[in-house]
Structure 1
Amino acid sequence: MTFDNQTRILIVYDSNGGNTYRMAQQIARGVESVKNCHAILRATPKVGDRSATALPEVPESGAPFAETADLRECEGLIIGSPTHFGNMSASLKYFLDQTTEQWFAGTLAGKPAAAFTSTGSMHGGQESTLLSMMVPLLHHGMLICGLPYSNPELMQTLRGGTPYGASHVAGEDGKAPLAPTETALCKALGARVASIALALTNSPEAARS
């Protein structure tokens, strides 16, 4: 579907200290650097918050909460999470676990998808997290988009950035800003998904046949 004649890329993220949110913002810039593409940011509610009697309509900071209905309105999906023991967070996993209806309907089949993550340490499980995040996307029949080495920042980075998706090393205190190479790769990931989604929007039969 399109929004005001624009291809919509949904960016769903979980964030603890704000690092993945900042990555999502840069990915959104990459999406919107592609003509006729529009980025939509959504945050997953924390799992513990779901037991509350009333969940606020919007979080205190960041993007509005994600709903599975958002998946029907996008032509591409990018998911992000901090690394928890080498895997995605429980909050993002919980959100994905609610998408059985979309799986039965084939809502996401043939659409491009990608992943991003942040860790406190250099070897904190970024690649295993990104790979594990791809598994439910593959079950949905999505087309996984990584970062090719035509992006020179993959060879230049001294912190985050992998061929499996964008990543960030936030440091032990979790406050390190995005490095220039990390920022560039976030934007590149957004632009890559947007470009592929735009091409498929113009010729959807190619991915769904």
Structure 2
Amino acid sequence: MVLPDSNEVRRRTPTAGRSVLGSGRSAPFVIFTVGNKGVVRAWNPLDGKAVASVMLYQGQAQRKVESSRKETSSLSEVFHYSSLDASGGTKMVTVGEDMNLMIWTLPEFEVSSHIMGPPAKGLTPQKKAASPSVAIIYYSTYGHIKALADEIKAGLEAAGVNVDLFQVPETLPAEVLKAMSAPGKPEDVMTLDYDFLKELPSYDGFMFGMPTRFGMMAGQMKTFFDSTGQLWVDSFTAVTQLVHHGMAYVPLGYQAGGEGQFDLSEIHGGSPWGASTLAGGDGSRQPSAKELAIANKQGQVFGATVAKAAAAKVADRELKVCIVYYSLYGHVKKLADEIAGSMREEGVTVDLFQAPELLGPEVLEKMGAPPKPEDPVMDYAAVSKLPEYDGIMFGLPTRFGNASAQMKSFFDSTGGLWQSGALAGKLAASFVSTGTLNGGQESTHMTTLTNMVHHGMIYVPLGYQAGGDGQFDMSEIHGGSPWGASTYAGADGSRQPSAMEISIAKRQGKVFAAKVKQMSK
């Protein structure tokens, strides 16, 4: 089935009343699917019957496609507008911002429990797991992700964590799944619905099982993440879905080396990002024993992290954070100082190190670079002491959307720590500086994240916890994304961090210090 890209969908203010989310009332709806030769079919998943009276507005020409002639050359055109005749009168409806593109709701009903898709077989969702608790949320077409989820659940439970397993609703109609030879959904697994989303913040951690579609998560999982918008607004769950929620990301790293993660004698999944399996082109290959062992280990690693975070014990020792940065004109140094100061206010000891310079003095002079700060240089001896810290923050100037060569050289020098797993489980965060707007602030965070993932470090994003410090402000130019604090230096490096950017940086320091206190027990 082919669906239109969200950018192709044009929305107008509806001429009828807008549907309301979160009312608690169930809603009939129709789903449009495309069959052979581009024939669009409307059907009601509540009873499996075709909707008899449907009009589709096709493209900008507003040409009506009657229910008896639902053929179109472009499915994306169909999704511009639609009207549904449900009770003798035609009413206009549009796609709401929070709704999946496949779902058009009848305007006389309110939306809630079926916002994420048609009802699926499975148990009614409820929180059964007591703290420390983890919710595993997954989608599985052929059972591969389900097998990994079961093994991860076993690993979590072995670590002393209680687990609830949820499947997200299916968005493909029954005849499509049948044509794909997909097995039935498990009836002994709870199926998420919109009403239950408000209960998710009561869990101590989440694990997400995602099949890939063209290098990205499946649409069913994307629909789930899109449906969590209200949790984001309410800051209940204070990378990218996780980063925007401000959720700490716990990669596997190479902590499953003993389970075969390094093995090259056979084909297997399992990367530093997490457990995985290879289904084969026809889906016939099942998770191997090695892949299941890696999945179990990931459950144990994540379970130990959740148990530590959920414990009430307070650390009775000095907590230490290291900030490693590179700054050519002083912008990253300024952010580093503000972040360090805010963490010290929270009782955390902070040491600042600058990455070794790779440019010669004559080059720096021609570039008009000021003298280097007095912070010590992160040499080999200092690198070997990084495991002594509870957390490490990285200050990154950008070069063509990536971290500078000086910071990349620093990360490359940590190979010995990677080999011994010395940084696995350490907290990490990042802050950046770019010369221009849209000059790679988020991409620098994202491309640097791979270094932390390979070390098995727990990435702590800022999320939108600096909203009160100006993160949402659009009255002036400022840096500060859900990934972390940032500033704009200007093309010539003359712009200095603004008061708002400094405020956001201070907030990131407090957020990171709080996480260090929570995890260092």
TM-score (norm 2): 0.35
Matched, 1:87 2:402: yes
The 5 Å alignment of 1:1-16 reads 5-16=317-328
What do residues 22-44 of structure 1 show as CA deviations (whole Å, max 9, x unaligned)? Answer: 11101101211213x11110000
Higher helix content, 1 or 2: 1
1:81 counterpart SS class: strand
Given that 2:489 and 2:495 are in contact with CA atoms closer than 8 Å, whether structure 1 keeps it comes out as: yes
Aligned twin of 2:486: 167
Given that 2:432 and 2:485 are in contact with CA atoms closer than 8 Å, whether structure 1 keeps it comes out as: yes
Matched, 1:75 2:386: no
Given that 1:154 and 1:161 are in contact with CA atoms closer than 8 Å, whether structure 2 keeps it comes out as: yes
How far off is 1:73 after superposition?
1.9
Q: Which has the higher contact order (CA 8 A, sep 6+)?
A: 1
Aligned twin of 1:44: 355
Given that 1:122 and 1:159 are in contact with CA atoms closer than 8 Å, whether structure 2 keeps it comes out as: no
How far off is 1:142 after superposition?
0.9
What do residues 83-121 of structure 1 show as CA deviations (whole Å, max 9, x unaligned)? Answer: 100000111111111111111222211121111111111
Q: Which amino acid aligns with 2:405?
A: A
Q: Say which of 343, 355, 364 aligns to 1:31.
A: 343
Matched, 1:137 2:452: yes
Given that 1:114 and 1:145 are in contact with CA atoms closer than 8 Å, whether structure 2 keeps it comes out as: yes
Query: Structure 1 unaligned runs (5+)?
Result: 50-58, 203-209
How far off is 1:63 after superposition?
1.0
How far off is 1:79 after superposition?
0.4
2:352 counterpart SS class: strand
2:450 counterpart SS class: helix
How far off is 1:60 after superposition?
4.3
Output the aligned Cα RMSD.
Answer: 1.7
What do residues 125-172 of structure 1 show as CA deviations (whole Å, max 9, x unaligned)? Answer: 111011111110111111111112232122016321100111101122
2:472 counterpart SS class: helix
1:42 counterpart SS class: strand
Aligned twin of 1:194: 513
Q: Say which of 111, 117, 134 aligns to 2:426.
A: 111
Distance between the aligned counterparts of 1:79 and 1:163, measured in 2? 15
1:156 counterpart SS class: coil
Distance between the aligned counterparts of 2:334 and 2:328, measured in 1? 11
2:373 counterpart SS class: coil
Aligned twin of 1:54: none
What do residues 149-208 of structure 1 show as CA deviations (whole Å, max 9, x unaligned)? Answer: 232122016321100111101122212221122111111222222211122111xxxxxx
Q: Say which of 18, 23, 45 aligns to 2:330.
A: 18
Aligned twin of 2:462: 147
Given that 2:463 and 2:484 are in contact with CA atoms closer than 8 Å, whether structure 1 keeps it comes out as: no
How far off is 1:6 after superposition?
2.0
Given that 2:397 and 2:403 are in contact with CA atoms closer than 8 Å, whether structure 1 keeps it comes out as: yes
Q: Out of 169-178 and 86-95, give the one that drifted further.
A: 169-178
Percent sequence identity over aligned pairs = 35
Q: Structure 1 residues 166 and 109 mapped into 2: Cα distance closer, same or farther (>3 Å)?
A: same
Q: Which amino acid aligns with 1:160?
A: G
Q: Structure 1 residues 110 and 16 mapped into 2: Cα distance closer, same or farther (>3 Å)?
A: same
Given that 1:11 and 1:24 are in contact with CA atoms closer than 8 Å, whether structure 2 keeps it comes out as: yes
Aligned twin of 1:56: none
Given that 1:10 and 1:39 are in contact with CA atoms closer than 8 Å, whether structure 2 keeps it comes out as: yes
Given that 1:13 and 1:92 are in contact with CA atoms closer than 8 Å, whether structure 2 keeps it comes out as: yes
Given that 1:115 and 1:165 are in contact with CA atoms closer than 8 Å, whether structure 2 keeps it comes out as: yes
Question: In terms of Rg, which structure is larger?
Answer: 2
Distance between the aligned counterparts of 1:60 and 1:143, measured in 2? 30
1:9 counterpart SS class: strand
Given that 2:466 and 2:508 are in contact with CA atoms closer than 8 Å, whether structure 1 keeps it comes out as: no
Q: How many residues in Structure 1 have an aligned counterpart in Structure 2?
A: 189
Q: Which amino acid aligns with 2:334?
A: R
2:320 counterpart SS class: strand
Q: Which amino acid aligns with 1:40?
A: D
Query: Structure 2 unaligned runs (5+)?
Result: 1-315, 361-370
Q: Which amino acid aligns with 1:87?
A: N
Distance between the aligned counterparts of 1:73 and 1:184, measured in 2? 29
Given that 2:323 and 2:351 are in contact with CA atoms closer than 8 Å, whether structure 1 keeps it comes out as: yes
Distance between the aligned counterparts of 1:62 and 1:130, measured in 2? 26
Given that 2:463 and 2:481 are in contact with CA atoms closer than 8 Å, whether structure 1 keeps it comes out as: no
